[in-house]
Chain A
Amino acid sequence: MTNLMPLILEHLMIVLIAAFIAVFIGVSLGILSYWVRYLDKAILWTAEIIQTIPNLALLAMLMIIFGLGNVTIIAGLVLYALLPIIRNTYIGLESVPSHLKDAARGMGMSRLQRLMKVEMPLSFPLVFSGIKLAVVNSLSIAVMGVLIGAGGLGYPIYRGIQTGSVERILTGAIPVVLMALILDYLMSKVEKRLVHKGTRG
């Protein structure tokens, strides 16, 4: 058990780094899809294609580019996390009531001001739920990292499979499940605090 802690931390680290990158890229692409007509289809379609590539195949391809190690698994997690984040950002922005967009435009807000002051705050709940979904998914996908030489909780699980030890498998799997539950809980708390009083329910 004593040597499990570093693995948990590394696992978490990989997921969080991937999440930050995915949020940055995903939200940007979501905004771009919303802003640029016709680009929305291309972006969402690409993200969906990526989502359908089997984990192993994607990781293998990334390994060719990034080699063995944590960078490859982070890249893979980012790619998988993109779809829910892009999609929810796009849908969130699209579904801001048109009279509010009209009012914002009529008040003399520039496109960026509309986005920052009105459209993003109002789409926040949906964007955040996309992020939550991506993070929780990443926790379990990150286990695959062991196959491409990355650290984290994939290792004890992999060893368990090789030696036929259920106990070892559980040693790796249980922390993953617990982390997923805890992160989900924490993020829901954060969401409650961040979602604006005026827009809640």
Chain B
Amino acid sequence: MIKFENVSKSYGESKVLKDLSFQINQGDFVVLIGPSGCGKTTTLRTINRLIEPDSGTIYIDGNDISALNPVELRRSIGYVIQQIGLFPNMTVEENIAVVPKLLKYPKEKWQPIVKDLLGLVGMPYDENAHKYPSELSGGQQQRIGVLRALAASPPIVLMDEPFGALDPITREALQEEVKRIQKKLKKTIVFVTHDMDEALKMADVIVFMSGGKILQMASPEELLQHPADPLISEFMGKHRGTVNINANLTAADFMKTRVLKASGSMQTLQSVELMRNRDVNSMIVLNEDDTYAGTVSLDTIKTHGKAGRAIGEFMETGVPTVNLKEDARETFEKLYTSPAGYVVVLNDDMSVAGLITKTSMAKAMGEALWGEMIS
């Protein structure tokens, strides 16, 4: 457990950290995010004493770290930086073994560690251990950067924008690997980024900083639903639409409202004409008081309809209906089992609010996940 208590830091006149107090629980993946210059890196580097605060105290597992030997402290905390920082004069194996060697592990102990770790990221030992960093791709280099931080099994790992310089595909692969490793090895990870996607994907807890202060510290879910500051909502940009993905999506969010409706007294041929004009193959039939009565499709008209009959006489009533406020999951299940391939959404007064088809459902889900769709 890491605990900040009234931690402040200034460079000359400018206050970089302003009286920070917060706590990171063991095994959590904590992401520090915020605009450039807000103090994320500074906060991170106070944890392994690469930066000493002017005032305040940082505790790790209850120990005031300013009382510990900084060199020994750093050996017990993993550290990964954006520029990767592999030592070019050392092989992959030597790089990974840096901290174990500083801790005087014998070779019989550190070599198996190197092998295990390389296996963890799918880089076979025999192929990679004796290469120099310059012979690896950027993604491979940062994998080694991460392994180097893990080699002496530190319970805490600090990562400062570790994937910032990687291409999107490599970044995604590494995000998944790190998340998997973190879960598997139960590490406490403090991770700096200014990419909200990355934060939402990786974090158990997001710490949103601005101007040397914490604006909000919350789970990704909480941050999405209740951003505590306009700056946070702005930072989330395209994620703003996703607010209610699990919690409160209802049938109303998925339906299309432009649907073809007609009174039950409408005659067969007229309704066929209407459906052809709108390029649809079914329509909703209403009672005299505009409440929902049933549906007719071109197919039913072909088999049962005769010119001059009212559609209300042979309409179907088997299409599922849902209330406007029905939750998303129920709605989805009804849609999935509907023989007609759609469900009818009703207002409280039983008038028709809209239709949900598989297409409208998919579109709405897409928007919820990835933001506004173009068409």
- Interface residue ranges, A against B (CB under 8 Å): 97, 99-100, 102-110, 113, 117-118, 121-122, 196-199
Residues of B within 8 A of A97 (CB): 83
Minimum distance in angstroms from A2 CB to a CB of chain B: 48
Residues of B within 8 A of A105 (CB): 50, 74
- CB–CB A198/B74 < 8 A: no
- A199 CA to B88 CA, complexed, in Å: 6
Q: Which of B50, B79, B132 contacts A198 (CB 8 A)?
A: B132
- CB–CB A100/B102 < 8 A: no
Q: Which of B75, B88, B89, B132 contacts A107 (CB 8 A)?
A: B75
Q: Assuming the A-B contacts A99-B81, A197-B132, are A104 and B87 also in contact, with contact meaning beta carbons closer than 8 angstroms in the complex?
A: yes
Majority SS at the chain A contact face = helix
Minimum distance in angstroms from A42 CB to a CB of chain B: 27
The 8 A-B residue pairs with the shortest CB-CB distance, nearest first, are: A103-B85, A198-B132, A108-B75, A108-B74, A106-B79, A99-B83, A121-B89, A196-B89
Residues from 262 to 294 in B contacting A, C-beta threshold 8 Å: none
B229, CB-defined interface residue at 8 Å = no
Residues of B within 8 A of A107 (CB): 74-75, 79, 98-99, 102, 148
Residues of A within 8 A of B83 (CB): 97, 99
Residues of A within 8 A of B76 (CB): 108
Q: Whose C-beta in chain A lies nearest to the C-beta of B85?
A: A103
Minimum distance in angstroms from A103 CB to a CB of chain B: 3
Residues of A within 8 A of B71 (CB): 108-110
Residues of A within 8 A of B158 (CB): 106
Q: Whose C-beta in chain A lies nearest to the C-beta of B158?
A: A106
- A197 CA to B72 CA, complexed, in Å: 31
- CB–CB A108/B89 < 8 A: no
B133, CB-defined interface residue at 8 Å = yes
Residues of A within 8 A of B148 (CB): 107
Q: Which of A107, A109, A110 has the most CB of B within 10 A?
A: A107
Minimum distance in angstroms from B157 CB to a CB of chain A: 11
